[in-house]
Each structure stands twice: as C-alpha cells, then as structure tokens.
C-alpha cells in the first residue's frame, strides 16, 4: 500500500491548485489520483465539438498563472494547453497516478489515516485527502424507456467519440443546456439531419466572442495591466449577484431587455421564437451565452423538437405526439450528477463511526465553507456543496479555499499533537443555516425552475448564494476554534 501525507483526488484545475499550494507550503509527499488516462480534469474530458468556456479567459485562469490567451472565451484546446502548461511548469505530471478510478475511501480511526482503494485494486493511505473530483464529472444519462434497444450509436457530450463520423448522419441532441448550445452549432453543418430535443428552453444572452486584438494581448503580458483587467472583469461579473441573490424580481428586466432582444434579433419567426421563451426567471438556471445557437436552429437541416420524448426504439426517438424520428446517433447533452443527488461523489466515503457521507447528507449535500463535513476528519472538498457559481469563475472559488485547506493540512503534517481535524457540527450547521436562509430569497430557489443547483426538495445545494468575495472570506482561513482537533 502506498503511503502519502496527502492524496488529491482528481487532477483538474482545483486538484492542480491544491498541489501547487502544497508545494509552496513545502509539502511534497502527495499524489494526485486521476480516473482518466491523462491529467487535466474537465477540459481533458469535455472535448465535444464546440466546447469552450463561458467565463472570460482573463478570469477563467489561475490568478498567479498568466497565459497568452488568444480569444475572449478560450476554446477547449487552448484551455487544455493551459492546463498542461501548469502541470509541466510545476512538475506535477509525475505526481499524477492516472486511470485510478476510486471505489471507496475509508477513515481508519485507529491510525487516523484515510484508506483509498481504486476499482482495479490499488490501495493508498494518507493523513489527509482532498477531494477535487468536481461535481460536474459524473455524466447524467436519463432513463428513457427503450434507450437500450436503439440500434444506432449514442454517447454523452462528456464521452464524445470523435472516431464516429457525423457526415450525413441523422442526429438527435437531447437537452438544451450549456453543452448542447455549443454542440448544436458546431455539428449542424456536418450532419445530414439534426433534431434538437428540447424539454424546456433556456435563457440565452449574446456572447460577443472574438479573438483578442493586439492591444488586449499586449495588456495580458504586462502584469499590472493584466491584473487591472482581471479585477475589472471580476467586479463587473460580481454586480450580477445583486440581481441573482438580492433582487431576483429585477432579473425580469434583464430577460426582457438583453435576452429577449437577442432572441428577437436572431429569431424572426414568431412560432419558433415562442418555443424558445423560457417560463422561469432568468438566472434560475445558469444563464447561457451564445451567438450561434439560435442561427443554427434555423438551418434547413435542423429541427427544434418540442413535443417531448415518449420513448426510444430501435430506429430512433418517438416523441409524445407519436412521431418517429429516424436516427443514426443520439447525443445526450443531459448534464451531470451534481450535488443535487446521491451520485455526486462517485465513490463511497466512510468516515468516523462508520458513517457514510451520503447517509450523513441525507439528500442535502452541505459542507462548512464548501470544504469540510463533520464525522469526516482530515477530508477536504474543493468546489464542494454550495460553491458553484454561474456569474464568475469556478477557479476563483477553488483558489479561495486554499487558505483553509493548506493551513489545516499543514497542521496535520507538521504538528505531532494534531492527528485529526474535524469541523464541529455547530459550526457546520450555523454556516449552512445561513446558506439556506440566503438561498430562500435567491433566484435559484424563487425563480420557478428546476436545475442541477437544487436537490429534489428544491433546496439549493449547488450555488454559493452571495458575492464570491464573501465566500473567499469564509473559506480562506483555518480557524481551530471551529474544529475538533485531537492528538489521537
Ligand atoms: P445542463 O445544463 O444540466 O442541461 C441538461 C439538459 O438536458 C437540459 O436542457 C435538460 O432539460 C435536458 N434533459 C435532462 N434530462 C432530460 C430528459 N430526460 N429528457 C429531455 N431533456 C433532458 O447540462 P450541461 O449542458 O451539460 O451543463 C451543465 C453545467 O456544466 C453547466 O451549467 C455549466 O456549469 C457547465 N458547463 C459549462 C460550459 C462552459 O463553460 N461553456 C459548457 C458546458 C457545461 P431541462 O432544462 O428541461 O431540465
């Protein structure tokens, strides 16, 4: 069994950030366990046609790792190149154990160590574990009657098979969320027929994407200008919280203004436009940005299917009106198992007193500062429950947690009288009471939608309900008084 001080589960941006901060803290006895063949996380896995980020690249990057971005919104290949640049610059490739698909992690109360086991039988032990697998890493494929009888090809957007030629094929894309609105325009010109299976329309605003001009690229290379630009982008994005969290009713002005104007400008046909108007308050689901989705829907070989899916058969999809849609390929752009359901952590987690994480959460995933959970000592989450954010960068949120995680881990490793650090239940409850009280007023709970931000009872387990700098204040330090710290 391999022994480490720290095991980082996952090697996406968050896991890499933890590793870099461990290096800075002088902690070197750690490894990153990665399920995939290569490190890199989301942008290693999500290479579907059209994949790109929808936060400006200047903000969607590590604060301390500049990069000569070429576009306002970087595409998957450029973000993956950035990820690899970080991995190599910080010599993290050798720290990654790939194809390590974790089956379970168990806290050994006698040894005060986590025991980690992969599905292929590899075993590890560590004083501390940082779970950085991400909450958008488990593809969610809905159970549609007859799906297993389909004679054609099917895959999820996060499992795109580029060996499958789209040329001339009859394709259905199920779902109209962030992934779908990127895939649809990217493949529309390559396929024979494209059916976009919409269960509910989403609000879309303009993207205004373009390559960065020479002046913008120059600014990126001058540190004070880069930081100024980053602060500007961050601040403008943060203003959206006023509507999303504090004045959800004002969000209607935003939908009537920006989003409806975009829809009217891009979709002249009345009937089609009506089918694309969402019934929920903008912001309740993640606000999508696209300049080419609506135009793609109007291509002669593209059909927006709104009748709903009744079942799938050997030939394709049968809609609720009984129409048979003949297909060669079904693409599931149906999202991920986020903190809204029990599959959010893709392995068993057994903590103190034999408690399992899923039983402790009992359908409502929570954490103190999105990071720690009682009964699970020496276990830390990056981007844990209630840390998602639609208006700014998920990387900002992960970086915000480093003060807490690294300081606590340092205590465990350097102090002989610190064997366990566990968040006190009262601190956890108090933090989450405030999160849930704030969520009740927010657009995510009042906006009349269901999304991956909410669990089945409509409770927000996904989004941080407030300004991201307030999250940073809560998550950037380790307060021993809020923890049970023990030497045995
Ligand atoms: P998503 O936003 O959860 O969208 C899933 C879509 O599948 C929705 O349209 C949903 O319909 C539909 N769906 C689910 N089950 C269905 C069923 N049984 N029948 C018909 N339709 C069904 O998933 P996603 O698009 O993969 O995006 C997830 C998150 O990943 C995003 O919110 C974002 O945070 C991240 N992401 C980011 C980017 C980016 O940065 N550019 C790109 C992709 C993803 P309903 O709306 O009716 O539920």
- Tell me, what's the pLDDT at 191? 98
Residues 392-426: pLDDT tens digits? 999 999 999 999 999 999 999 999 999 999 999 99
What would the mean pLDDT of 197-211 be, rounded to a whole number? 96
Please determine, for residue 144, whether its predicted confidence score (pLDDT) is greater than 90.
yes
Residues 294-352: pLDDT tens digits? 999 999 999 999 999 999 999 999 999 999 999 999 999 999 998 777 778 999 999 99
DSSP per-residue letters across 102-120: EEEEEEETTTTEEEEEETT
Say how far apart CA 333 and CA 452 lie, in whole Å.
Answer: 13
Residue whose CA is at the smallest distance from ligand 1 atom 4: 177
Give the number of the atom of ligand 1 that is nearest the alpha carbon of residue 394. 34
Please determine, for residue 152, whether its predicted confidence score (pLDDT) is greater than 80.
yes
Pocket test for ligand 1, best of 335, 447, 450, 453 (most atoms within 8 A of CB): 335
Residue 9 φ/ψ, nearest 5 degrees:
-95, 110
Residue whose CA is at the smallest distance from ligand 1 atom 37: 178
Give the number of the atom of ligand 1 that is nearest the alpha carbon of residue 199. 47
Please determine, for residue 256, whether its predicted confidence score (pLDDT) is greater than 90.
no
What would the mean pLDDT of 82-95 be, rounded to a whole number? 98
Give the number of the atom of ligand 1 that is nearest the alpha carbon of residue 390. 34
The rounded Å distance from CA 334 to ligand 1 centre is: 5
Going by the DSSP 8-state scheme, the letter that residue 345 receives in this structure is S
The rounded Å distance from CA 181 to ligand 1 centre is: 9
The rounded Å distance from CA 206 to ligand 1 centre is: 18
Residue whose CA is at the smallest distance from ligand 1 atom 3: 335
**Cα–Cα separations (whole angstroms), residue 260 to 206, 270, 280, 449:** 11, 13, 13, 18
Which residues, judged by CB distance below 6 Å to any ligand atom, belong to the binding site of ligand 1? 52-54, 136, 142, 144, 174-180, 197, 199-200, 286, 309, 333-336, 452
Helix axes 76-89, 13-24, angle to 10 degrees: 20
The rounded Å distance from CA 286 to ligand 1 centre is: 9
Pairing between β-strand 483-486 and β-strand 420-423 as defined by DSSP bridges: antiparallel
Say how far apart CA 403 and CA 418 lie, in whole Å.
Answer: 18
Please determine, for residue 39, whether its predicted confidence score (pLDDT) is greater than 90.
yes
- Tell me, what's the pLDDT at 344? 84
Of the pLDDT bands very low, low, confident and very high (cuts 50, 70, 90), residue 390 is: confident
In the chain, how many H helices and how many E strands? Answer: 17, 20
The rounded Å distance from CA 84 to ligand 1 centre is: 27
Say how far apart CA 161 and CA 184 lie, in whole Å.
Answer: 16
Q: What is the pTM of this model?
A: 0.95
Residue whose CA is at the smallest distance from ligand 1 atom 36: 178
- Tell me, what's the pLDDT at 446? 94
Q: What's the angle, vertex CA 332, arms to CA 13 and CA 198, rounded to 5? A: 115
**Cα–Cα separations (whole angstroms), residue 113 to 108, 125, 293, 346, 404:** 5, 6, 50, 20, 19
């Amino acid at each position: 069994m391999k022994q480490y001080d720290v095991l980082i589960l996952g090697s996406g941006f968050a896991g890499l950030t933890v590793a870099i901060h461990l290096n800075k803290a002088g902690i070197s006895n750690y490894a990153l366990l990665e399920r995939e063949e290569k490190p890199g996380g989301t942008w290693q896995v999500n290479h579907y046609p059209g994949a790109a980020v929808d936060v400006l690249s200047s903000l969607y990057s590590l604060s301390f790792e500049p990069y000569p971005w070429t576009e306002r919104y970087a595409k998957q290949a450029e973000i993956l190149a950035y990820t690899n640049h970080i991995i190599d610059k910080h010599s993290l490739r050798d720290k990654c154990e790939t194809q390590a698909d974790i089956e379970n992690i168990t806290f050994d109360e006698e040894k005060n160590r986590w025991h980690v086991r992969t599905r292929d039988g590899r075993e590890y032990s560590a004083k501390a574990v940082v779970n950085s697998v991400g909450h958008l890493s488990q593809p969610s494929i809905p159970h549609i009657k007859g799906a297993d009888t389909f004679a054609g090809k099917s895959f999820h957007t996060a499992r795109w098979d580029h060996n499958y030629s789209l040329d001339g094929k009859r394709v259905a894309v199920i779902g109209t969320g962030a992934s779908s609105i990127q895939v649809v325009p990217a493949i529309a010109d390559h396929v024979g027929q494209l059916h976009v299976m919409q269960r509910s329309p989403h609000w879309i605003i303009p993207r205004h994407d373009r390559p960065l001009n020479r002046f913008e690229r120059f600014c990126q290379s001058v540190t004070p200008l880069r930081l100024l630009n980053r602060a500007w982008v961050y601040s403008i994005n943060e203003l959206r919280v006023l509507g999303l969290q504090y004045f959800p009713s004002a969000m209607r002005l935003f939908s009537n203004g920006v989003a409806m104007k975009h829809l009217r400008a891009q979709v002249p046909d009345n009937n089609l436009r009506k089918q694309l108007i969402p019934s929920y308050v903008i912001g309740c689901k993640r606000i999508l940005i696209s300049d080419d989705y609506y135009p793609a829907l109007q291509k002669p070989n593209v059909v927006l299917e709104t009748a709903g899916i009744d079942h799938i058969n050997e030939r394709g999809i049968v809609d609720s009106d009984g129409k048979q849609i003949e297909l060669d390929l079904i693409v599931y752009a149906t999202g991920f198992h986020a903190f809204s359901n029990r599959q959010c952590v893709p392995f068993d987690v057994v903590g103190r007193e034999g408690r399992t994480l899923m039983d402790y959460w009992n359908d409502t995933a929570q954490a103190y500062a999105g990071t720690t959970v009682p009964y699970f000592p020496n276990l830390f989450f990056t981007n844990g429950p209630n840390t998602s954010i639609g208006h700014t960068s998920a990387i900002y949120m992960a970086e915000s947690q480093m003060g807490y995680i690294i300081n606590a881990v340092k205590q465990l490793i350097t102090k002989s009288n610190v064997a366990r650090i566990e968040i006190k239940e009262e601190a956890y409850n108090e933090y989450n009471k405030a999160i849930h009280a704030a969520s009740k007023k927010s657009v995510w709970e009042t906006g009349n939608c269901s999304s991956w931000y909410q669990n089945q009872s409509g409770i927000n387990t996904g989004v941080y309900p407030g300004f991201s700098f307030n999250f940073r204040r809560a998550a950037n330090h380790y307060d021993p008084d809020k923890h049970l710290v023990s030497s045995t």
